């Protein structure tokens, strides 16, 4: 066989006089990673063939042959018997070549009115749309688990922190609802992202559209897209939707990383606030006493991976002129890995969160340290007519006394407290208790158990919307 004939084996080989260099062939091929798009590629091809028959470009018999052949190819891929070829470059040409071997020249008609440029853009959107729906389900499952845990711990008192220093007492349920609110925003971003993913580029062809009488609205309906894209140049070159998804993923992972950081701290001997079941932890090869919170640590670590993929895609697109460029082949691996990483981390957390057990006694003991009810004493003084800045100074002196005596405000006698202000009465101890402090914050968004339960009820009513 001549070099010219070898080049002609490529679907685009007619213009070339020598075969692709063997290294270049491997270097430029994407089939090693884009083969995961096979289901969506075949789905898109079936819709395309159906539309071509409807507008008269294909006969009904040709359409039926193509669809039957594509179903056979899909079955072979799913059975594991399909042989992927690097020389055919990508998932699209591997499937088309297999189809043509099965049904002959009719298989070559499938690509009428489209290009790999709009084909791959469609495949990625179909793929990402399905993955978004899976991720949304896992996100909802994690949210539901958080609500269940928050309800169980609605009255469990723990220290709230600023600067990682004891600030004011809160309930563990209230703290968990802060995590929940982060996930609410993530879910909103994911739903919003899906709207822009669900736009069909098929029909844009290589960059300018096609001369065939295609019906893009019909194809969009067949594939479940909300609409077809408006501009052919943008259709084949746009990867905003992938970047937007990775932006969602980076924020979600940032939130999971913050959860993870707290769980790593809280499971340490120094805090000992919560216990994670053994099935979510590992031990040490040398220290037999160790129980390491590997799931939270690994999720925290994987956040950097996802953040990197976002930057990778932004950088990939920043210098590209219109329309399609080979650079865009580099969009898939970061996107695929982001999808896989997010799904794995969400599953791990959705499984783990309901199994978290609070060590309520340790939390309560910690909340009594660090003068966490100092602000409550200041508020008490203000309600007795003391100006806030004066109240702040009075309580500061009381705290300094407590530091010297190594005693909390609630452990002082009335006489000791009255040396700092004579407006302090017996009722001060109602606000200096941990329970009194959290119960007093009985308003929307507050830490009072009543408000925590009301927030859980509202959240459950809207979960998944």
**φ, ψ at 51 (rounded to 5°):** -65, -40
Task: Measure the CA–CA gap between 459 and 143, rounded to whole angstroms.
Answer: 9
**What is the longest distance spanned by two Cα atoms in the chain?**
105
Residues near 410 by Cβ (< 8 Å), separated by ≥ 6? Answer: 368, 373, 429, 432, 433
Q: Is 40 considered catalytic here?
A: no
Cα–Cα nearest to 360, from 267, 274, 259: 274
Q: Which residues contact 270 (CB under 8 A, 6 or more apart)?
A: none
| Given 232, 284, 312, 443, the catalytic residue | 284
Are 173 and 151 in contact by the 8 Å Cβ rule? The answer is yes
The secondary structure of residue 86, as a DSSP letter, is G
* Active-site choice (17, 79, 163, 285): 163
| Omega before 323 within 30 of 0, i.e. cis | yes
**Residue 350 and residue 139: Cα distance in Å, rounded?**
8
Q: What whole-number distance in Å separates Cα of residue 6 and Cα of residue 26? A: 16
Cβ atoms of 250 and 305 closer than 8 Å:
no
With H, G, I as helix, E, B as strand and everything else as coil, classify residue 213: coil
Residue labelled with tokens 């009381």? 398
163 is catalytic: yes
CA distances from 120 to 107, 133, 339, 361 (A): 18, 20, 17, 57
The DSSP H or E segment spanning 17 is: none
Nearest to 200 by CA among 214, 186, 212: 214
| 184 contacts 143 by C-beta, under 8 angstroms | yes
Pick from 32, 50, 194: nearest CA to 125 = 194
Q: Are 190 and 135 in contact (CB under 8 A)?
A: yes
Task: State the Cα–Cα distance between residues 308 and 435, nearest whole angstrom.
Answer: 45
Residues belonging to the active site: 163, 284
């Amino acid at each position: 066989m001549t070099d010219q004939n070898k080049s002609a084996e490529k679907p685009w080989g007619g213009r070339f006089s020598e075969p692709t260099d063997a290294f270049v062939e491997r270097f430029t091929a994407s089939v090693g990673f884009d083969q995961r798009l096979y289901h969506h590629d075949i789905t898109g091809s079936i819709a395309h063939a159906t539309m071509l028959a409807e507008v008269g470009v294909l006969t009904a018999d040709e359409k039926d042959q193509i669809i039957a052949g594509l179903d056979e190819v899909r079955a072979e891929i799913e059975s594991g018997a399909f042989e992927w070829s690097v020389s055919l470059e990508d998932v699209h040409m591997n499937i088309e070549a297999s189809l043509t071997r099965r049904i002959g020249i009719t298989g070559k008609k499938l690509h009428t009115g489209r290009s790999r440029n709009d084909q791959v853009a469609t495949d990625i959107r179909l793929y990402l749309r399905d993955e978004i729906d899976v991720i949304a389900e896992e996100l909802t499952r994690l949210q539901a688990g958080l609500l269940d845990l928050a309800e169980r711990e609605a009255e469990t008192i723990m220290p709230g922190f600023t600067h990682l220093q004891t600030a004011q007492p809160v309930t563990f349920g209230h703290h968990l609802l802060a995590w929940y609110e982060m996930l609410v925003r993530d879910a909103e971003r994911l739903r919003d992202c899906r709207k822009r993913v669900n736009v069909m580029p098929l029909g844009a062809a290589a960059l300018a559209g096609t001369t065939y009488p295609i019906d893009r609205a019909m194809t969009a309906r067949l594939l479940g897209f909300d609409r077809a894209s408006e501009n052919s140049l943008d259709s084949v070159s746009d990867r905003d939707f992938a970047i937007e998804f990775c932006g969602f993923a980076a924020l979600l992972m940032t939130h999971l990383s913050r959860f993870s950081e707290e769980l790593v701290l809280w499971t340490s001997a120094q805090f000992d606030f919560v216990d994670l079941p053994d099935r979510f932890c590992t031990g040490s090869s040398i220290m037999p006493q160790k129980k390491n919170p590997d799931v939270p640590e690994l999720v925290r670590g994987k956040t950097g991976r996802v953040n990197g993929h976002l930057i990778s895609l932004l950088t990939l697109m920043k210098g590209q002129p219109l329309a399609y460029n080979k650079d865009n082949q580099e969009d898939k691996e970061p996107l695929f890995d982001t999808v896989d990483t997010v799904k794995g981390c969400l599953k791990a957390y959705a499984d783990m969160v309901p199994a978290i057990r609070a060590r309520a006694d340790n939390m309560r003991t910690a909340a009594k340290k660090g003068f966490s009810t100092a602000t409550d004493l200041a508020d008490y003084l203000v309600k007795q007519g003391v100006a806030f800045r004066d109240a702040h100074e009075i309580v500061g002196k009381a705290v300094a006394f407590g530091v010297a005596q190594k005693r909390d405000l609630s452990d002082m006698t009335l006489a000791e407290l009255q040396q700092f202000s004579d407006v302090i009465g017996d009722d001060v101890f109602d606000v200096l208790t941990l329970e009194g402090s959290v119960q007093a914050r009985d308003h929307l968004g507050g830490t009072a158990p009543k408000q925590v339960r009301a927030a859980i009820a509202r959240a459950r009513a809207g979960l998944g919307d």
